[in-house]
A and B are shown apart, each in its own frame.
Chain A
């Protein structure tokens, strides 16, 4: 397990760490967050900027309005977080944290734009990986053997030789 609160993008070009556990966990359903994440909501955890540092690569950003910057990796696109420019507090995307499962959202915002059926999808049929139509064991093994996703911990060298 990681010693610190680390995370990064899918391809591994960008890695970051916090010196304390990020808090203020939340979802945001507003259309700005939806579109940044290409999803039903953005999910965030954050800390003061002085508790945060980038340890590999650089955050790219899109200034979505004069109020906020939204961060991503320019090499693989992973949404990495956002900052309200009036605050010295940085949010990262929960999905980019190595220990993402420890960040249950405490609040949700942007309720006016929440997808009307969000409650319903939770009970929809759910299968393990390999259950998607057309998946088979050989395909899963091929993906495993050629997986280029950065693992959920820091690495000395990336990509591996």
Chain B
């Protein structure tokens, strides 16, 4: 079956959106504006025509980072959601907010002038599964089950009611 729309949203689930066509141009941007907006080493974005973007729950809050660009986020949990260049007819969404995020491997990088000097090393530093560390399974692992039981993150699919009604 051909997929006709893609969906996503913020961590707490107050904001959900859908894309009426597959977004394109997946990239990361290392410029300091994107770094700071995302509190990270880069922003990861993928875009589509603005008229193919639709909110299905809640509202996006915006910070106008310069005259023609607004950056959208959820005011309830902070998740960075959009990059909206008001001079263009396209809007970008943050790849991490897409339910099918892994389908959007970036093809290009921008903002090279402020790329972190150790960026090319981030995949070779020691890596552990959740609940593990250099010493093997950590004490923290025992608490993960508890976290899962009280997880308030919206799942990676649309929901009819959110937060779930208490039974």
Chain A contact residues, CB within 8 Å of chain B = 9-11, 27, 30-32, 34-43, 60, 62-68, 70-81, 84, 86, 93-96, 100-101, 104-122, 124-129, 131-132, 134, 139, 142-143, 145-150, 152
Contacts and interface: CB of A to CB of B under 8 A. Distances in A.
B10 A64 contact: no
Contacts of B129: 109-112
A10 B39 CA distance: 8
Nearest to A68: B147
B37 interface: yes
B101 to A, nearest CB: 7
Given A64-B11, A105-B122, A110-B129, A78 B105 contact: no
Nearest to A78: B39
A67 B150 contact: yes
A85 to B, nearest CB: 10
B3 interface: no
B152 A64 contact: yes
B38 A37 contact: yes
Interface string B12-37: 10000000000000001111110111
B51 interface: no
Contacts, number: 270
Nearest to A144: B66
Given A78-B37, A128-B110, 5 more contacts: A62-B76, A78-B78, A121-B28, A127-B108, A142-B66
Nearest to B131: A109
Contacts of B36: 9-10, 78, 95-96, 149-150
Interface residues of B, number: 85
B108 to A, nearest CB: 5
A13 to B, nearest CB: 10
Nearest to B68: A142
B152 A63 contact: yes
Which of A39, A40, A112 has the most chain B CB atoms closer than 10 A to its own CB?
A39
A84 B102 CA distance: 27
B147 to A, nearest CB: 4
B64 A148 contact: yes
A115 B42 CA distance: 15
Contacts of B154: 35
A101 B11 contact: no
A35 B150 CA distance: 16
Interface string B99-121: 00110011111111111111111
B96 A34 contact: yes
Given A77-B63, A152-B32, A124 B108 contact: yes
A106 B66 CA distance: 34
B110 A132 contact: yes
Given A73-B78, A74-B78, A79-B78, A37 B63 contact: no
B126 A147 contact: no
